[in-house]
Every structure is written in structure tokens, then in C-alpha cells.
Amino acid sequence: MPDATPSAKRDYQTCALIGTGHFLSHFYMLCLPPLFLVWRAEFGVSFAMLGLAVALMSGTTALLQTPVGFLVDRHGARPFLVGGTLLMALSISAMAFVQDFRMILVLAVLSGVGNSVIHPADYAILAGSIRKEFMGRAFALHTFTGNLGFALGPPVIAGLLLVMGWRDALLLVGLLGVPVVGAILWQSRILQEQPKKRGDVAKGGARLLTSKPILAFFAFFLLSAMAGSGVSAFLITVLGKLWSTPVAVASLALTGYMAGATAGVLVGGWVADKRGGNLLGMVVALTLVSMALLLSLGLVPWPEFLLPFVALVAGACLGASRTPRDVMLKDACPPGEVGKVFGFVSAGLPLGSAITPVPLGFLLDMGHEALVLPVVALLLGLSLLCAGGARALSLPARARMQPAE
């Protein structure tokens, strides 16, 4: 039997290649909003039309992730990763030459088509390329690079607008994807495809995605994203209304929460690799701590100098729970099905982020700001029930899929 175990160096090379593409994927998602005022003046369009560009890109990505996952599992991830990254990047660059805003919308859809490849292809390649004992850190680095792309997209574009026009800025950041594609092609030998089922190509994908374990994982991801969206959208407002917290202090608390969530992902990956087995216990413990701290922000009048620290720890615990969550999903995937499963389940993240702000906004409009953080905690609690259900249901399913001796 050939030795297919990659070295530690290869693990890091794989993470660097996959992570760079993932960074660009998230970077491009948020590189358009800083251009809204410039575009409104140049094209004479409404803010609703401007928002439609971002909505089309995000919506196309979420809608196509699952069907692309089927293609990745059937035909292999590498060609889709190369093609998707190139399409995503060149669509952004092509916006530099547009004279009619409707073409921006078309290119946003095309960029979303390319972006839809990233999650199913990335996780399929990581499943096939990374040693089991490094899988937690690999998933953590993948999530971290995506978060970094979200964080850097707006300030980089804003900075470029200070020294060049918006067309040159988009052309420049779009063309950054070309060397990334070149590097993936050059180093493609280290990107291994996921293990396949013995015999025929895996069938019954639709039945798999509608099975109880995968639906429970989808609900787990969805509810987690709903809770996180509620915190990021309304923490500043809630602290101000409940405790008259100054905007500057409340903003620092939100920054602490976001920084903790991003750094916590890396810590969670390292701990997941060292811990090995019972990742559900780790997810439950970390999420419960985060729930308690978020609840305390709405129930306890913390001194202002402590607010950022409390929010940072709450974010760090929640972030650290995300990597073992991803590893649990990977372990529940049948062989050769990683692309479609991650494509489907990770679509719950943008969906969850889109659901929460409106109903929580209604709570604030009705003067029930004290209920916002308890609702967030309730969503996290429900996500844990789904996590436990997913774990319990996936174990017997995995046992049934083991080949007979």
C-alpha cells in the first residue's frame, strides 16, 4: 500500500494555498461596499441597487454551493478550485471597465458563481491532503484566512481610493487572484483529492443531504450564524440602550468580541488536534461559557473598562468552538461526499446571518432591548441541542457505512 501520508511541511503548504484562495473569496465579498458612494455619484443609482450587487454575489454563492459540491465529489476538486478562483477574481477586475451599472450586477453574479466553488472544493482537498492529527489546525487556518479577508476588504479598498480611482483599485485587487491561481497550478501536486468510496462513485447524494445527521448539522451551523449575526449587528445598540454605554466603549467591546472570535478559531484548532476524540464536549463547554458571558452583558452593569475584556472572552470561546464543529462534520461525512456535505451545511452560515437582524431589530423598535442578548443565548443553546443530535445520529450512520470484514 503506497504511503500517502503528507509531511508537516506539506500540510502547511496545502493550508497556505487553500487559505490564500479562501482569503480572496471573503475579501471580494466585502470589497464592494466602500465603493457605494462613488458608484452612486457616477452611475446615479439608488442605495437599494447598490446593495443588490452585494446581495447577488452572496446569494449566488450560497445557492450554488450545494450543486457545486456534487460536481466536486464526482469530478474532483482541483479543476473547480482553479476555475472558480479565476472567475471570481477576473469578474472583480472586469468591473473596472463597466460603463453601465447593470453590468456590475452581472459581474457580481459571475463572481458569486466562482465564489461558490471555494467551500466545497477547499474542504474536499483538505480532507484528502491533510494528516488526521493536523486536521483541526488546518480547518482553523482555513476559517482564520476567511475572517481575515472579511476584515481587510473594506479598509484596503478605502485606502486604495485615497491614491487611485475606483476602477484602478478594482482592477488591482481583482488581478491579485491571477498569481494565486498560478500558485495553485504550480503546486497542484501537493493538493490531493478526498478519499473515494470503494467501487462505484457514491450515489444517493440527495438522500444524504436530507438525512437526519446532516440536517442536524445544517441547523447547528444555521443557529450559530444567527446568534453571531445578532451580536455583531446589535451589541453596540443594546449596551447603549441598557446601560447608556458610550458608543466608543461599546464599539471597543464589539471589536473585542470580533477579535476574540477570530483568534479563538486558531486556539480551537490546536486544542481539537491535541484532544482528539470527544470534540462535542469541547464545543458544549466553550459555547456555554460564551452564552453565560453574553447574557451577563445584558444582565450585569459591568464597569466600562471591563466590557471589552468580557466581550473578548465571549468571542474567543465561541470562535474556539467553531473548529471542532467543522472537524465533527468532516468526521460525519461518508467517503467521497465531503464537497456536497460542506457545500450544503456551510450554506447555513450566510442564511443564518441574513435571518437574525430583522427580527432582533423589531425587538429594539418595540423597546425590548433587554431581550436581544437572551435571544442570542437561546439560539446558541438550541445550536448545542442540534450539535448533540448530529453527533448521536452520525455515529450509528457511520457504523453502518463501514465495510464488512
**pLDDT digit string (tens) for the chain, length 405 residues:** 344 445 888 999 999 999 999 999 999 988 999 999 999 999 999 998 999 998 899 889 999 999 999 999 999 999 999 999 999 999 999 999 999 999 999 999 999 999 999 999 999 999 999 998 999 999 999 999 999 998 899 999 999 999 999 999 999 999 999 999 999 899 888 888 887 765 444 456 788 899 999 999 999 999 999 999 999 989 999 999 999 999 999 999 999 999 999 999 999 999 999 877 678 999 999 999 999 999 999 999 999 999 999 999 999 999 999 999 999 999 888 888 999 999 999 999 988 888 888 899 999 999 999 999 999 999 999 999 999 888 777 755 554 444 333
In this structure, are 364 and 221 located in the same domain? yes
Task: Single out the residue in 188, 220, 245 at which a domain terminates.
Answer: 188
Does 331 reside within a domain?
Answer: yes
In this structure, are 135 and 217 located in the same domain? no
Distance (Å, whole) CA 394 – CA 405:
21
Closest CA to 16 of 184, 175, 151, 194: 184
Distance (Å, whole) CA 12 – CA 176:
21
The domain total for the chain is 2
Residues 6+ apart with CB under 8 A from 111: 28, 57, 87, 88, 91, 92
Does 196 reside within a domain?
Answer: no
In this structure, are 169 and 220 located in the same domain? no
Cβ neighbours, 10 Å, residue 158: 14
In this structure, are 270 and 127 located in the same domain? no
Cβ neighbours, 10 Å, residue 247: 11
In this structure, are 24 and 75 located in the same domain? yes
The helix or strand, by DSSP H or E, that contains position 96, with its residue range, turns out to be none
Helix (H, G, I), strand (E, B) or coil at 155: helix
Cβ neighbours, 10 Å, residue 148: 16
- Asked if 145 and 19 count as a contact pair (C-beta separation under 8 A), the reply is yes
Distance (Å, whole) CA 83 – CA 21:
12
In this structure, are 220 and 359 located in the same domain? yes
Q: ∠ at Cα 140 (134, 143), nearest 5°?
A: 145
User: Within a 13 Å sphere around the CA of 332, how many CA atoms are in the beta-carbon half?
Assistant: 33
Radius of gyration (Cα) for the chain, nearest Å?
21
Task: Read off the DSSP letter of residue 337.
Answer: -
Closest CA to 203 of 70, 294, 86: 70
Q: Where do we find the cell 479562501?
A: 22
Q: pTM for this structure?
A: 0.89
CATH number of the domain at 78, please.
1.20.1250.20
In this structure, are 175 and 315 located in the same domain? no
Q: Where do we find the cell 459555547?
A: 287
Closest CA to 235 of 182, 324, 311, 174: 311
Give CA torsion, residues 270, 275, 279, 283, to 10 deg: -60
Tell me which residue range forms the domain holding 105: 8-188
